[in-house]
Structure 1
Amino acid sequence: MNQDYIKPDAWSIIEEGFEKDRVKSSESLFSIGNGAMGQRANFEEGYSGPTFQGSYIAGVYYPDKTRVGWWKNGYPEYFAKVLNAPNWIGIEVEINGEKLDLARCIEVRKFRRELNMKEGWYHRSFETVLQNGTEVRVDARRFLSLETDELGVIKYEVTPLNKDARVIFRPYVDAGITNEDANWDEKFWEPLETRHSLREAFVVARTFKTHFKVATFMHNTLFRDGKELPVKPLTTQAGDDKICLAYEVAVSRGEKAELQKLGGYTVSMNHAEDKLIAAAQEVIRKAAEKGYETLLDAQKKAWAGIWEMADITIQGDVKAQQGIRFNIFQLNQTYLGKDARLNIGPKGFTGEKYGGSTYWDTEAYCLPFYMSTKNQQVARNLLAYRYNQLDKAIENAEKLGFTGGAALYPMVTMNGEECHNEWEITFEEIHRNGAIAFAIYNYYRFTGDYSYIPEKGLEVLIGIARFWKQRATYSAAKNKYVILGVTGPNEYENNVNNNWYTNYIARWCLEYSAEQVRKVETEYASDYARIKEKTGVKDTEIRQWEEVAGAMYFPYSETHGVYLQQDGFLDKELIRVSDLNGSQRPLNQKWSWDRILRSPYIKQADVLQGFYFFEDHFTREELEKHFDFYEPFTVHESSLSPCVHSIQAALLGRMEQAYEFYLRTSRLDLDDYNKEVKEGCHITSMAGTWMSIVEGFGGMRVKDDVLHFSPKIPEQWEAYSFKINFRGQVLKINVKVSGTEFTLEGETALTVIVNGKQVLVKPGNLVAV
Structure 2
Amino acid sequence: MNLDYIIPNDWSILEEGFDPENIKASESLFSIGNGAMGQRANFEEKYSGPTFQGSYIAGVYYPDKTRVGWWKNGYPEYFAKVLNAPNWIGINIYIEDEVLDLHTCKKIEIFKRELNMKEGWLSRSFIATLQNDIKVEVNTKRFLSLDMDELGAINYSVKPLNSDASITFRPYLDSGITNEDTNWDDKFWDTLNVSHENNQAFIQAKTMKTDFYTCTFMESQVFIDGKSMIIDPNISADANSASFSYNYKVKQNETYTIHKFGGYTVDRNHDKYELVTAAKKVLEKATKAGFSTLLDNQKKAWAKIWDMADITIDGDVKAQQGIRFNIFHLNQTYLGTDARLNIGPKGFTGEKYGGSTYWDTEAYCIPFYMATKDQSVARNLLTYRYKHLQKAIENAEKLGFKNGAALYPMVTMNGEECHNEWEITFEEIHRNGAIAFAIFNYHRYTGDYSYIPEMGLEVLIGIARFWHQRATFSKDKNKYVILGVTGPNEYENNINNNWYTNYIAQWCINYAVENIERVESDFTTDFTRIMNKAKLSKAEIEQWQEVAERMYFPYSEKHNVYLQQDGFLDKELITVADLDQAQRPINQKWSWDRILRSPYIKQADTLQGFYFFEDHFTTEELERHFDFYEPFTVHESSLSPCVHSIQAAKLDRMDQAYTFYLRTSRLDLDDYNHEVHEGLHITSMAGTWMSIVEGFGGMRVKNDMLTFEPKIPQQWDGYSFKVNFRHQILKVIVNQGQTHFELEGHKELQIEVNGKSVMIAPNKLVTV
Contact 1:402 1:470 in 2 (8 A): yes
Q: What is the identity, as a one-letter code, of the residue corresponding to 1:253? A: Q
CA distance in 1, matches of 2:747, 2:727: 10
Give the equivalent residue in structure 2 for 1:530: 529
Q: What is the identity, as a one-letter code, of the residue corresponding to 1:565? A: Q
Which digits, 9 at most, give the CA deviation of each residue in 1:186-235, with x for residues without a partner?
Answer: 110000011102311000000000000000000000101100100311x2
Contact 2:346 2:355 in 1 (8 A): no
1:232-381 map, 5 Å: 232-233=232-233, 235-381=234-380
1:261-660 map, 5 Å: 261-660=260-659
CA distance in 1, matches of 2:378, 2:764: 29
Q: Does 1:672 align with 2:643?
A: no
Q: What is the identity, as a one-letter code, of the residue corresponding to 1:396? A: N
Say which SS state the counterpart of residue 353 (structure 2) adopts: coil
Give the equivalent residue in structure 2 for 1:88: 88
- Stretches of structure 1 that go unaligned for 5 or more consecutive residues are none
Q: What is the identity, as a one-letter code, of the residue corresponding to 1:42? A: N
Q: TM-score, normalised by structure 2?
A: 1.00
Q: What is the identity, as a one-letter code, of the residue corresponding to 1:467? A: F
Give the equivalent residue in structure 2 for 1:708: 707
Contact 1:96 1:165 in 2 (8 A): yes
Give the equivalent residue in structure 2 for 1:71: 71
Contact 2:5 2:15 in 1 (8 A): yes
Q: Does 1:6 align with 2:2?
A: no
CA distance in 2, matches of 1:246, 1:186: 32
CA distance in 2, matches of 1:667, 1:437: 30
State the shift of 1:416 in Å.
Answer: 0.2
Q: What is the identity, as a one-letter code, of the residue corresponding to 2:175? A: A
CA distance in 2, matches of 1:541, 1:320: 52
Give the equivalent residue in structure 2 for 1:26: 26
State the shift of 1:738 in Å.
Answer: 2.3
CA distance in 2, matches of 1:563, 1:212: 49
State the shift of 1:250 in Å.
Answer: 1.6
Give the equivalent residue in structure 2 for 1:174: 174
Give the equivalent residue in structure 1 for 2:129: 129
Which digits, 9 at most, give the CA deviation of each residue in 1:576-628, with x for residues without a partner?
Answer: 00111111011110000000000000000000000000000000000000000
1:68-217 map, 5 Å: 68-217=68-217
State the shift of 1:2 in Å.
Answer: 7.7
Contact 1:356 1:412 in 2 (8 A): no
Give the equivalent residue in structure 1 for 2:684: 685
Q: Does 1:737 align with 2:723?
A: no
Q: What is the identity, as a one-letter code, of the residue corresponding to 2:57? A: I
Q: What is the identity, as a one-letter code, of the residue corresponding to 2:604? A: A
CA distance in 2, matches of 1:260, 1:202: 17
Q: What is the identity, as a one-letter code, of the residue corresponding to 2:291? A: Y
CA distance in 2, matches of 1:196, 1:583: 57
CA distance in 2, matches of 1:704, 1:417: 37
Contact 1:324 1:689 in 2 (8 A): yes
Q: What is the identity, as a one-letter code, of the residue corresponding to 2:610? A: F
Which digits, 9 at most, give the CA deviation of each residue in 1:491-549, with x for residues without a partner?
Answer: 00000000000000000000000110111011100000110111111111111111100
Contact 1:428 1:486 in 2 (8 A): yes
State the shift of 1:346 in Å.
Answer: 0.2
Contact 1:199 1:231 in 2 (8 A): no
Say which SS state the counterpart of residue 530 (structure 1) adopts: helix
Instruction: State how many pairs are aligned.
Output: 768
Contact 2:347 2:355 in 1 (8 A): no
CA distance in 2, matches of 1:278, 1:306: 31
Contact 2:144 2:152 in 1 (8 A): yes
Q: What is the identity, as a one-letter code, of the residue corresponding to 1:180? A: E
Q: What is the identity, as a one-letter code, of the residue corresponding to 1:440? A: I
> Percent identical across equivalent pairs?
71
State the shift of 1:96 in Å.
Answer: 1.0
Which digits, 9 at most, give the CA deviation of each residue in 1:435-479, with x for residues without a partner?
Answer: 000000000000000000000000000000000000000000000
Q: Deviation above 3 Å: which 4+ runs of structure 1?
A: none
Q: What is the identity, as a one-letter code, of the residue corresponding to 2:319? A: A
Contact 1:2 1:673 in 2 (8 A): no
CA distance in 2, matches of 1:53, 1:450: 45
RMSD: 0.7
Which digits, 9 at most, give the CA deviation of each residue in 1:150-206, with x for residues without a partner?
Answer: 000000000001000111011001111100000001110000011102311000000
Give the equivalent residue in structure 1 for 2:35: 35
Contact 1:224 1:249 in 2 (8 A): no
CA distance in 2, matches of 1:480, 1:455: 35
CA distance in 2, matches of 1:223, 1:544: 75
CA distance in 2, matches of 1:626, 1:145: 47
Q: What is the identity, as a one-letter code, of the residue corresponding to 2:588? A: Q
CA distance in 2, matches of 1:524, 1:2: 60
CA distance in 1, matches of 2:504, 2:74: 24
Which digits, 9 at most, give the CA deviation of each residue in 1:307-343, with x for residues without a partner?
Answer: 0000000000000000000000000000000000000
State the shift of 1:648 in Å.
Answer: 0.1
CA distance in 2, matches of 1:414, 1:614: 29
State the shift of 1:241 in Å.
Answer: 1.4
Q: What is the identity, as a one-letter code, of the residue corresponding to 2:108? A: V
Say which SS state the counterpart of residue 390 (structure 2) adopts: helix
State the shift of 1:556 in Å.
Answer: 0.5
CA distance in 1, matches of 2:165, 2:138: 13
Q: What is the identity, as a one-letter code, of the residue corresponding to 1:471? A: R
Which digits, 9 at most, give the CA deviation of each residue in 1:654-711, with x for residues without a partner?
Answer: 0000000000000000000000000000000000000000000000000111100000
CA distance in 1, matches of 2:247, 2:236: 15
State the shift of 1:375 in Å.
Answer: 0.3
Q: What is the identity, as a one-letter code, of the residue corresponding to 1:415? A: N
Contact 2:636 2:673 in 1 (8 A): yes
CA distance in 2, matches of 1:46, 1:660: 41
Say which SS state the counterpart of residue 352 (structure 2) adopts: coil
Give the equivalent residue in structure 2 for 1:52: 52
User: Structure 1 residues 167 and 2 mapped into 2: Cα distance closer, same or farther (>3 Å)?
Assistant: closer
CA distance in 1, matches of 2:224, 2:709: 59
Give the equivalent residue in structure 1 for 2:717: 718
Say which SS state the counterpart of residue 678 (structure 1) adopts: helix
Contact 1:490 1:606 in 2 (8 A): yes
Say which SS state the counterpart of residue 228 (structure 1) adopts: strand
CA distance in 2, matches of 1:132, 1:669: 38
Q: What is the identity, as a one-letter code, of the residue corresponding to 1:15? A: E
Contact 1:356 1:419 in 2 (8 A): no
Say which SS state the counterpart of residue 260 (structure 1) adopts: strand
Contact 2:61 2:81 in 1 (8 A): yes
Say which SS state the counterpart of residue 720 (structure 2) adopts: strand
- Stretches of structure 2 that go unaligned for 5 or more consecutive residues are none
CA distance in 1, matches of 2:432, 2:657: 29
Q: TM-score, normalised by structure 1?
A: 0.99
Say which SS state the counterpart of residue 232 (structure 2) adopts: coil
Give the equivalent residue in structure 1 for 2:218: 218
Which digits, 9 at most, give the CA deviation of each residue in 1:234-270, with x for residues without a partner?
Answer: x222111111111112211100010100000000100
Which digits, 9 at most, give the CA deviation of each residue in 1:79-104, with x for residues without a partner?
Answer: 00011011000001000110000000
CA distance in 1, matches of 2:236, 2:595: 53
Q: What is the identity, as a one-letter code, of the residue corresponding to 2:495? A: V
